[in-house]
A and B are shown apart, each in its own frame.
Chain A
């Protein structure tokens, strides 16, 4: 599978990473090479094979659904680049 410039633009946007126009072409080349390497997987017969979705076959641990944490607003906000009145602050989202 090879990726063209337009697909590279789409992937960059999906990943929310700004890529300059002149860097899209080389990026497409790099991504294509990596995907080419993955194409080896097409040689494998996967008929009837279940995907591996859990690394160790064990029942998921359960716990009572209760509040064990909280009231740490200061700690939650301490590392934020911009906060206002106890909230994370971001550029205007809706007009």
Chain B
């Protein structure tokens, strides 16, 4: 039973219900794997005592025949989710020592359904980054390596710890959050499945806010079926988040028939970028062919404002962040700078934030303050909000023409080396989000599916974008794609 940590959620669920093993066995296997994973730096906090307690409670429920699908499933939780009494600091120094006195809605629903918390997972500071290198805990490391090359690679970001933990079988699945691609890009970099639901599907309450009109929580799992199972537990209306949608919770797993005959898949020409590696282009064409072979109809579509999504995002997200992060002032929680004699409250704010925030967070907070400042608001922020309308309309037109899902590459490259982008300007790093960011701006659901390995032996992902609230249909197409691709590669254990 030493390999229980390698199970999928669906296999573990079935095994638990049959009594092949207990939730405690499963949790012990994951705790052992997590304890031996220091080199991956995926965990920011381990909670073994709580895990064992939760596993025993899950076993009692299983015995009583009252076990939801997630009952007894060991999870890792991104450090952005508030977990009651457990270190939660959004990978930032400014939240040093913060122990939330409350639980986020998403995690409380997972615990309601019997899931088990193994600990908290590393990420980019305040979810700002694409390589996990902005974390105050230091970068998480990708379990994958290039063939014949020992260089440490990034698992992507911002949900890098979540991706590394799932790909490295330290847990069965993990929570992530996605503001511009922070679930889908790391999922693609590590050969796992990551889902960003429709905006409003998951409550944002208790998740440390980055850009409130873009943030969504979602599952990061080993298979599409696992994402469908876990997503069902995470979603639902929450009166504590005014943007949470009051819609019934669908059975996403029941939507996975694998039958996509008659579905229309859009291939957007604007996603064929200059300088895109041939491997990614080929992967995309192969994915499209597979969907066609499964009975779907392919159509060329145009999303003409795609090119403007990144600049619009890098106005809107920092603007919202500068407002959201104003609460870190050294008064209510976290770090406060040591003050010099005579320092007043302004010095306290300025020194605390200078010490507590990392460089990328400072940069974005200042950009946000600038684009919102009087004299520049119309030129930057208001203009970006108008471009955002046009980006959403691009998708609305395509969906109105009968397209069910849109297929694109997930990322413009495979995982890169840690430190490789250190001297690049910040915009180079921002380009990681080029295929994913439109989905956040338009509030749509998206999923990254592992689709193959590149010449270096690193995983690459394809992205499907669905209609709003049609995660079930989108996941069914993803399931058909996953089945056709048959991706089964795993990183070799070196850590």
Q: Which residues of A contact B (CB under 8 A)?
A: 1, 3, 7, 11-19, 27, 30-31, 33-35, 37-44, 46, 49-53, 55-56, 58, 60-61, 63, 72, 75-76, 78-82, 88, 90-93
Partner of B99, one of A17, A43, A72, A78: A78
Task: List residues of chain A with CB within 8 A of the CB of B200.
Answer: 55-56, 58
Contact B242 A60 (CB under 8 A): yes
State the main secondary structure of chain B at its contact with A.
helix
Give the CA-CA distance A60 to B330 in the complex, in Å.
Answer: 33
Give the CA-CA distance A12 to B370 in the complex, in Å.
Answer: 9
Report the number of A-B residue pairs with Cβ-Cβ less than 8 Å: 168
| Given contacts A12-B366, A18-B354, A78 and B389 within 8 Å (CB-CB) | no
Task: List residues of chain B with CB within 8 A of the CB of A79.
Answer: 97-99, 101, 332-334
Give the CA-CA distance A49 to B348 in the complex, in Å.
Answer: 42
| Given contacts A37-B427, A41-B308, A80 and B333 within 8 Å (CB-CB) | yes
Interchain residue pairs with CB less than 8 A apart (16): A3-B370, A11-B366, A11-B369, A15-B322, A15-B365, A17-B354, A33-B427, A37-B430, A38-B311, A42-B383, A44-B305, A55-B214, A61-B239, A63-B239, A79-B98, A93-B344
| Given contacts A16-B349, A56-B443, A82 and B366 within 8 Å (CB-CB) | no
Give the CA-CA distance A51 to B377 in the complex, in Å.
Answer: 13
**Most chain A CB atoms below 10 A, which of B354, B370, B384:** B370
Within 8 Å of chain A (Cβ to Cβ): is B39? no
Contact A50 B386 (CB under 8 A): yes
Contact B344 A38 (CB under 8 A): no
**Most chain B CB atoms below 10 A, which of A37, A39, A42, A81:** A81
Q: Which residues of B contact A (CB under 8 A)?
A: 97-99, 101, 198-200, 213-214, 239, 242-246, 305, 307-308, 310-312, 314-315, 322, 326, 329-336, 339, 343-351, 353-354, 357, 362-363, 365-371, 373, 376, 379-380, 382-390, 392, 425-427, 430, 443, 468
The 6 A-B residue pairs with the shortest CB-CB distance, nearest first, are: A51-B385, A79-B333, A81-B336, A18-B354, A18-B350, A55-B443
Contact A51 B245 (CB under 8 A): no
Task: List residues of chain B with CB within 8 A of the CB of A82.
Answer: 336
Task: List residues of chain B with CB within 8 A of the CB of A1.
Answer: 376, 379
| Given contacts A38-B380, A41-B311, A93-B345, A46 and B387 within 8 Å (CB-CB) | yes
